[in-house]
Amino acid sequence: MSNHDHHKIPQATAKRLPLYYRFINNLYNQGKARVSSKELSEAVKVDSATIRRDFSYFGALGKKGYGYNVNYLLTFFREALEQDNYTKVALIGVGNLGTAFLNYNFTKNNNTKIEMAFDSNPEKVGTKVGGVPVYHIDEMEKRIGTDINIAILTVPAQSAQPIAGRVVECGVEGILNFTPARITVPPQIRIHHIDLSIELQSLAYFLKHYPLEEEEELVDDHRS
Ligand SMILES: NC(=O)c1ccc[n+]([C@@H]2O[C@H](COP(=O)([O-])OP(=O)(O)OC[C@H]3O[C@@H](n4cnc5c(N)ncnc54)[C@H](O)[C@@H]3O)[C@@H](O)[C@H]2O)c1
């Protein structure tokens, strides 16, 4: 099933997927081949009309007196959840900042994972940083394929625009730009700029010109 098809599933239905998945997975492990919407309904505490409607979006049409095929549902849920909940990331530029990100385990708290990294320095190519393989930048198009959703840019500022153009060509949908370069991308690409020096300057400016009022402090004191 393609990503496009998934977008047709209503959000409320999509939210129930993990719940269904967990239960169906248990049934599968118990060796059960089928399940009725009534059984499901009792287990996951969702009324059976909603379950039937939800499942019809997945193309799983239960047969009267038979119920749903557990194996089919499990395969479907596994695919749907992996595709929807798992965002694959590539990092470009394994220098000071890039190395720190690779060593930081993003998967611990959310469902994104840096799958691969690229650099132009031959000394870095072929190594693993934080368990992530580092490939040569010349191999980027080949390695990324159509698999990567987001690119993190931690290259020198002057390389940011050309690299951004290339990752967009690879089909990346979002760019997290840590370089100070302002990058131009096509309108369908989402780009977030994180410029630490601007953030720092802005904090310094706020401290100077918008000091927190004592009243707010009093409120805080009062609360604690
Ligand atoms: N280090 C920081 O604390 C920090 C903070 C804020 C922003 N930044 C920005 O992040 C970026 C990276 O900073 P850094 O300190 O990690 O720099 P760095 O010089 O340590 O790392 C840059 C890496 O990019 C690689 N590289 C250079 N050109 C490349 C190309 N064309 N393709 C692929 N890889 C290439 C280099 O080999 C190097 O490993 C810079 O744009 C910098 O301004 C850094």
Do residues 97 and 62 share a domain?
Answer: no
The range of the structural domain enclosing residue 60 comes to 3-84
Per the structure, how many domains does the chain have? 2
| CA-atom Rg of the chain in angstroms | 24
Residue 190 domain flag: yes
Q: What is the pLDDT of residues 83-100, one digit of tens each?
A: 556 789 999 999 999 999
Q: What is the CATH number of the domain that holds 48?
A: 1.10.10.10
Do residues 77 and 91 share a domain?
Answer: no
Flag whether the ipTM exceeds 0.90.
yes
Instruction: Evaluate whether 36 touches 70 at the Cβ level (below 8 Å).
Output: no
* Cβ 54 under 6 angstroms from ligand 1: no
* Cβ 159 under 6 angstroms from ligand 1: yes
Virtual CA dihedral for 62, 63, 65, 70, nearest 10 degrees? Answer: -50
Residue located via tokens 């190395």: 99
* Cβ 97 under 6 angstroms from ligand 1: yes
Do residues 42 and 96 share a domain?
Answer: no
Residue 109 domain flag: yes
129 is in an annotated binding site: no
Q: What is the pLDDT of residues 178-223, one digit of tens each?
A: 999 999 999 999 999 999 999 999 999 999 998 887 655 555 544 4
Do residues 137 and 180 share a domain?
Answer: yes
Mean pLDDT of 40-56: 90
Domain-terminating residue out of 18, 50, 84: 84
pLDDT value of residue 147: 81
Do residues 177 and 94 share a domain?
Answer: yes
Domain-terminating residue out of 55, 84, 113: 84
Instruction: Evaluate whether 133 touches 116 at the Cβ level (below 8 Å).
Output: yes
In 40-173, the DSSP E strands lie at: 68-69, 87-92, 112-119, 128-129, 132-136, 150-153
Q: What is the CATH number of the domain that holds 169?
A: 3.40.50.720
How does 94-116 read in b/e, with b if 16+ C-beta sit within 10 Å?
A: beebbbebbeeebeeeeeeebbb
Beta-bridged to residue 67, according to DSSP, are 63
State the maximum Cα–Cα separation within the chain, in Å, rounded to a whole number: 73
Q: Are strands 68-69 and 132-136 parallel, antiparallel or unpaired?
A: unpaired
Mean pLDDT of 38-46: 91
Q: What is the pLDDT of residues 164-175, one digit of tens each?
A: 999 999 999 999
* Cβ 167 under 6 angstroms from ligand 1: no
Q: Ligand 1 centroid to 92 CA: how many Å? A: 9
Do residues 108 and 174 share a domain?
Answer: yes
Atom 4 (ligand 1) nearest CA: 97
